[in-house]
Structure 1
Amino acid sequence: MAIISLGFVGVQLSENWDKVGAYQFTFASLAGLLLGAVVYAGACFFLSSAWYQILSAISSHSLSVKLLRSIYARSQIAKYIPGNVMHIASRHIMLNRLGISHKPLAVASLAEMIGLVSAAVTFAIIGGTLYDLWGEYLKPQLLYIGLAVIAMLLVLLPLIRIACLKYIPASHDLLKKPRLQGALFRAYLEYLLFFALAGAILVALVFQLDGYVSSNSVFAILASFAISWLAGFITPGAPSGIGIRETILVVSLDKILLAGNGALIAILFRFMTVSGDVLFFIIAGGRK
């Protein structure tokens, strides 16, 4: 899938080579790309902080914030190894060697994946819904349906809690420990901040190339980024979702912007995220 996706991106680059070739690496454009990489590196600190919150609530370890952030930064580079799981495995191995048992590490990794997916889905739904509500296709019924679903969930929450405690023994710790619930909620908020910053980088890149981004397009771009990240995350084998994310961004951005810059934007955005990961590794990876 990754190879096919990369081939698709290559074809799009070839068909829109006039726009790609016209892009000039001026001082201003390079400064913008560098700033985007710096912001993305800063966003990665929210990921490491969320990981610390989750692991600290699950395990009674005595490791410092700086050490866990360093391990997280070093392990994140491993996501570029084919397989798209080595960052999770390497982090697990390093922390297990420091005395943390396998069970809390496995539970923390599962909680991290659920939190990231939940945050991505949140941005995708909110961005897509707002785009439809305030775009040219006004669909207020989506808002009414969403509010009705939320109201039903609020009514059913007490019943869901009782059922989980009775039939799912593994849910006891989560539902009966306010500290763990608070840690997971804070982690979820930090994942939302990560997607907000990373999505803002993509919006800024679109603005740099097109010179204008409507408020309606901002919602669509944020939703496109969340969907592309999610697709790359759940696709096994693709290192850091390479090819998968670019394909979705190319298709969605070309439909949103109608300017044929999707391929160029996707490539430049990948450059900024990779540079941001390397910068995060340099800044945080060596600290103990």
Structure 2
Amino acid sequence: MRPISNWQRLIGPLVGFISVGFLLTTLWRHGHQVLELAPDQQGWALLLFGVAATVAAQWFNGLAWWALLNWLRSPLPLIEVLLLFMRTNIYKYLPGGIWHQAGRLRWLKQRGVGARRALLAVLLDPLLMLLAALCLLPLGGLQGGLGLLSPFALLLLRPRWLNPLLERLLLSKRALLNLSGEVESDELKQDQALLSSPWAALLLQFPFLLLRFGGFACCIVCFSSINSLGIGLWLAAFALAWLVGLVVPGAPGGIGVFELVLLARLHGSLPEAELLAVVISYRLISVVAELLTAAAAQLDQPIAIRSQ
């Protein structure tokens, strides 16, 4: 396996710096108009509802991960998996962007899950989120052919294509997650061929994304209007920005990348101050929701341990 070059180590922080810098520059230019859009009492209620929807989304994401573990023949108690998923989710905002995966990987190994299956569990989760987001793109129309072609990404879940893809992911991530050598034993290689597709885990990603969009929609209603573009185009633009923020290396948690893609996708479709208010408020409620779920999971952990 080739070592990670210096430019590969630098590209993530560079993309994040450029994205955040562009967002701050745009905010500086339109800051006065954004401040004029301060929410009223009804607006604050909408934002609180958006936080609640985003909190619910995190639980569906954890439930999808539990279903993925069952598909990988590594069943673990649902409550333990959910609490671990919530506690580690906030780690994605740490520099490097891999610490939520590293935390889950370490926990799975402590629970007796083999190195290979543990690594597959943390690598398949974002892949399924990506595929679910691609399936939502057609709701915004053809979009230069993207809306027509994106659902074909589901073909990646066919075992004949999924297995080679996962092998490449395992090779690229094992050193990054400090697993060199552990996934290469003959015993683990016997289990490398997946003979089915994780459809249950994929289906649970759709309520996760739709609830996240529900939180985003609350920000839209608070500062703009759903009818300004139509709910299908809003949802498709959200899905596109979200999946690019997931894939493209940048600032931790996709900060800056998500906002930059959304601003570029909807540029000229509505006043820039309104769009800025929407994306900034959504980022704030996302962070608040993830902090709340992580704190609640941390508090519930001793109770879950005693109940067992």
Q: Within the alignment, does 1:269 sit opposite 2:282 as a pair?
A: yes
What SS does the corresponding residue of 1:83 show, helix, strand or coil? coil
Query: Which residue in 2 is equivalent to 1:279?
Result: 292
What letter matches 2:194 in structure 1?
A: D
For structure 2, the 5+ residue unaligned runs are 1-14, 168-189
Q: How does 1:49-60 map to 2 (within 5 A)?
A: 49-60=63-74
User: 2: CA distance between counterparts of 1:69 and 1:142?
Assistant: 34
User: 2: CA distance between counterparts of 1:162 and 1:81?
Assistant: 35
User: 1: CA distance between counterparts of 2:160 and 2:58?
Assistant: 37
CA contact (8 A) 1:202 1:221 kept: no
User: 2: CA distance between counterparts of 1:4 and 1:163?
Assistant: 35
What letter matches 1:221 in structure 2?
A: W
Q: Within the alignment, does 1:39 sit opposite 2:53 as a pair?
A: yes
Please point out which of 185, 189, 195 is paired with 1:174. 195
Q: Within the alignment, does 1:127 sit opposite 2:148 as a pair?
A: no
Query: Which residue in 2 is equivalent to 1:136?
Result: none
Q: How does 1:208-247 map to 2 (within 5 A)?
A: 208-210=222-224, 212-214=225-227, 216-247=229-260
Aligned-residue offset at 1:29: 2.4
User: 2: CA distance between counterparts of 1:100 and 1:164?
Assistant: 21
Aligned-residue offset at 1:242: 0.6
Aligned-residue offset at 1:216: 4.8
Query: Which residue in 2 is equivalent to 1:13?
Result: 27
Percent of matched pairs sharing the same residue: 26
Q: Within the alignment, does 1:186 sit opposite 2:207 as a pair?
A: no
What SS does the corresponding residue of 2:268 show, helix, strand or coil? helix
User: 2: CA distance between counterparts of 1:162 and 1:25?
Assistant: 51
Q: How does 1:193-208 map to 2 (within 5 A)?
A: 193-208=207-222
CA contact (8 A) 1:123 1:226 kept: yes
User: 2: CA distance between counterparts of 1:217 and 1:47?
Assistant: 26
| TM-score, length-scaled by structure 1 | 0.79
C-alpha change, 1:29 and 1:245, in structure 2 (3 Å) is same
C-alpha change, 1:44 and 1:164, in structure 2 (3 Å) is closer
Query: Which residue in 2 is equivalent to 1:100?
Result: 113
User: 1: CA distance between counterparts of 2:25 and 2:52?
Assistant: 30
C-alpha change, 1:108 and 1:20, in structure 2 (3 Å) is same
Aligned-residue offset at 1:273: 0.7
Of 219-228 and 267-276, deviating more is: 219-228
C-alpha change, 1:24 and 1:121, in structure 2 (3 Å) is same
For structure 1, the 5+ residue unaligned runs are 133-138, 176-180
C-alpha change, 1:79 and 1:142, in structure 2 (3 Å) is closer
C-alpha change, 1:268 and 1:57, in structure 2 (3 Å) is same
C-alpha change, 1:163 and 1:15, in structure 2 (3 Å) is closer
User: 2: CA distance between counterparts of 1:32 and 1:193?
Assistant: 20
Aligned length: 259
CA contact (8 A) 2:47 2:218 kept: no
Aligned-residue offset at 1:228: 1.3
What letter matches 2:216 in structure 1?
A: L
CA contact (8 A) 2:60 2:205 kept: yes
C-alpha change, 1:76 and 1:162, in structure 2 (3 Å) is closer
Aligned-residue offset at 1:241: 0.5
Please point out which of 126, 131, 148 is paired with 1:118. 131
In the TM superposition, what whole-angstrom CA distance separates every residue of 1:9-65 from its partner, at most 9, and x where no partner exists? Answer: 11111111222121325433222222111110101111100100111221344x311
User: 2: CA distance between counterparts of 1:161 and 1:58?
Assistant: 13
What letter matches 1:268 in structure 2?
A: S
What letter matches 1:28 in structure 2?
A: Q
| TM-score, length-scaled by structure 2 | 0.74
User: 1: CA distance between counterparts of 2:86 and 2:159?
Assistant: 36
User: 1: CA distance between counterparts of 2:52 and 2:43?
Assistant: 14
What SS does the corresponding residue of 1:255 show, helix, strand or coil? coil
What letter matches 2:44 in structure 1?
A: L
What SS does the corresponding residue of 1:236 show, helix, strand or coil? coil
Query: Which residue in 1 is equivalent to 2:264?
Result: 251
In the TM superposition, what whole-angstrom CA distance separates every residue of 1:175-227 from its partner, at most 9, and x where no partner exists? Answer: 3xxxxx4xx212111111111121232223212212x3228532221111111
CA contact (8 A) 1:254 1:261 kept: no
Aligned-residue offset at 1:279: 1.8
C-alpha change, 1:29 and 1:106, in structure 2 (3 Å) is same
